Amino acid sequence: MNKLAVAALAIWVGCGDGGTGTPDAPVEPDAPVDVTFQPGCMEIPQTGPNMFAAAADFGQVVAGSLAAWEPDGRWFLTGTRVGGVSSFHIQKLANGIAILDRDTDHPGTIDANAVFQRATFEGGGETFILAKRVANLLPDGSLRADRAVCDGQMCRVCTARMIRATHLDGEGEGQGLVKLSELRGATWGPGFTFNVRVAGTLAYLIRQDGLHIIETADPEHPVELGKFRRAGDGYSNDVKIVDAAGGKRFAIIADFPVDIVDVTNPAAPVLAGQIAEEAHTLFTETRNGQTRAYFGNYDGSCPVYDVTNPAAPQRLGRYQSPGSIVHDLSVADGVAYLDAWEAGLIVVDFNNPAQPTVKGTWAPTPTETSHSNWTTVAGGRRIALHGEESYGAHLDVVDIDPASATFMQPFASWKTRDWVSIHNIMAFGEKAYFTHYQDGIRVLDLSNPAQPTQVGYYNTWDPQAAYTTNQFFEGAVGLDVDLARKLVFVADSPRGLIILRDDTP
């Protein structure tokens, strides 16, 4: 994911489709009412501080449609991407009071007609508005949800179809994957859990509050041994482990600048150096006695460094992609597969790192977000598993054999549901593992890569749990797989580290 923008208002909303109701007079049950709507978002000028002052300002309100509705719990917003928001959480209190998204500072209202919440914030002489409405229960149990955010000049308004938040297709907790343990230390700070890498029995978990080193020799009882947190601000998003001469071990942490941390003594990690790059992700490859680190940078570049001795890194070359960011990457035999966001998947040969050469490109659709990938050989074909990151994101299987007539063309795809995005990917031969935010961990059989088949899953995200938020990017984020011990390690954004036993075929 890109840099998390933390603001008083996350500025995305959805526009109503007009209507005959007024703030004081919802449409009566016996009046002709068109309750159909097209999910989507639009921008309209903010004409003053009193916009979206009542539920009917979003459009028609069918009187009495919520009379028998049970509102409590979490509800997915579907049909359109509502910015960084994927759901509403509703809690009905006494006396017509409702709490939306656990915002007790700005309670809303609920009656037989609508749920409505509005909050305003003053700043710089402007009135900022955040308004939400739920109304018009349909026979299939779905409702219309509206959200408006005004910044003093413009309002972005989104309308979505709201459905009860559940696991995919009525799934249970898991199939083929069994939870052994879960760790989120009592002293861990707030914030996201991003990724995890395992070396031996040690798990290196990267979070917003730093690097956590965890002993997993007994995977049912993981124990934190040490922690590293950089001085000052940063956005540590990814980590890889490099074993060096003399029994030394280093963690390379994607941040700005990149941190190189000596973790030889896991109880006392110490900063050993920094690389002057602004990296979102990284990938390491060891060949012919040399270890190289490739960085996916926020400026769209991919530099490569010799980190055989991580304490003394040497830059070997750099490729500047046409994308706004190299969001992620994988490397095989000196060839890097770069996720250059809106510029797509770019294959770059770094075997001569001073003169990297582009070998192929592919632009994903429909989201146009090249987010992550992993390469493997399955069914006798050299393929890349490519994931987007957005509303409607899915897995594509791409032919990456340069000798093939379909080089850099997708030939299969797989997805769960539009309103839950895929995230990180790993593959080992004909078996793939990937994180899928609110849809947890998914395992695919690729023996026929033209027809990926799910063989296991584990739902790390409980739709109705107290830890859930309305954020689109929440749930299973990063992973690593220990094939020898048949373990899957999950970096889960609200829960921390989850260790699963892999019983999938």
Rounded Cα–Cα distance for residues 182 and 168 (Å): 22
| Within-domain flag for 111 | yes
**Domain check: are 341 and 293 in the same one?**
yes
Note whether 328 and 219 are same-domain residues. Answer: yes
Q: Which of 138, 165, 192 marks a domain boundary?
A: 165
Q: Which two tokens stand for residue 483?
A: 């094939």
285 & 262 share domain: yes
Q: Is position 30 within any domain?
A: no
Report the Cα–Cα distance between both ends of the chain, in Å, rounded: 31
DSSP 209: T
Q: Going along 269-365, which residue ranges are E strands? A: 270-275, 279-287, 290-297, 301-306, 314-320, 328-332, 335-339, 345-349, 357-362
Other CB atoms within a 10 A radius of the CB of residue 282 amount to 27
Whether 151 is in a domain gets the answer yes
Cα(475)–Cα(468) distance, integer angstroms: 9
DSSP letter string, 75-120: EEEESS-BTTB-EEEEEE-STTEEEETT-TTS-EEE-SSEEEEEEE
CATH number assigned to the domain comprising residue 233: 2.130.10.10
Total Cβ atoms within 10 A of residue 217: 11
> Is the backbone peptide bond immediately before 190 cis, with ω within 30 degrees of 0?
no
Same domain (yes/no): 433, 482: yes
Together in a domain, 373 and 469: yes
Task: Note down the domain range covering 481.
Answer: 169-502
Q: Which residues contact 308 (CB under 8 A, 6 or more apart)?
A: 244, 289, 290, 291
Are residues 103 and 244 part of one domain? Answer: no
In a shared domain, residues 392 and 329? yes
**How many domains is the chain built from?**
2
Q: Give me the tens of pLDDT residue by residue for the chain, a chain 505 residues long.
A: 543 332 333 322 233 333 323 333 344 444 445 678 999 999 999 999 999 999 999 999 999 999 999 999 999 999 999 989 999 999 999 999 999 999 999 999 999 999 999 999 999 989 999 999 999 999 999 999 999 999 999 999 999 999 999 999 999 999 999 999 999 998 898 789 999 999 999 999 999 999 999 999 999 999 999 999 998 888 999 999 999 999 999 999 999 999 999 999 999 999 999 999 999 999 999 999 999 999 999 999 999 999 999 999 999 999 999 999 999 999 999 999 999 999 999 999 999 999 999 999 999 988 999 999 999 999 999 999 999 999 999 999 999 999 999 999 999 999 999 999 999 999 999 999 999 999 999 999 999 999 999 999 999 999 999 999 999 999 999 999 999 999 999 999 999 999 999 999 9
Q: Same structural domain for residues 50 and 123?
A: yes
Buried b (16+ CB within 10 A) or exposed e, 448-479: ebeebeebbbbbbbbbeeeebbbbbbbbbbbb
Query: Residue 380 is encoded by which pair of tokens?
Result: 């006798």
DSSP letter for 420, please.
S
Residues 158 and 247 in one domain: no
Return the structure tokens found at 366. Answer: 């429909």
Which residue has 């890349």 as its token pair?
384
Assess whether 389 and 254 both reside in one domain: yes
How far is residue 410's CA from residue 228's CA, in Å, rounded to a whole number? 41
Q: What is the pTM of this model?
A: 0.93
Listed in sequence order, the residues at least 6 apart from 48 whose beta carbon sits closer than 8 Å to its beta carbon are: 127
143 with 199, same domain: the answer is no
Identify the CA nearest to 252 among candidates 268, 221, 226, 228: 228
**89 lies in the same domain as 207:** no
Among residues 148, 165, 182, which one ends one of the domains?
165
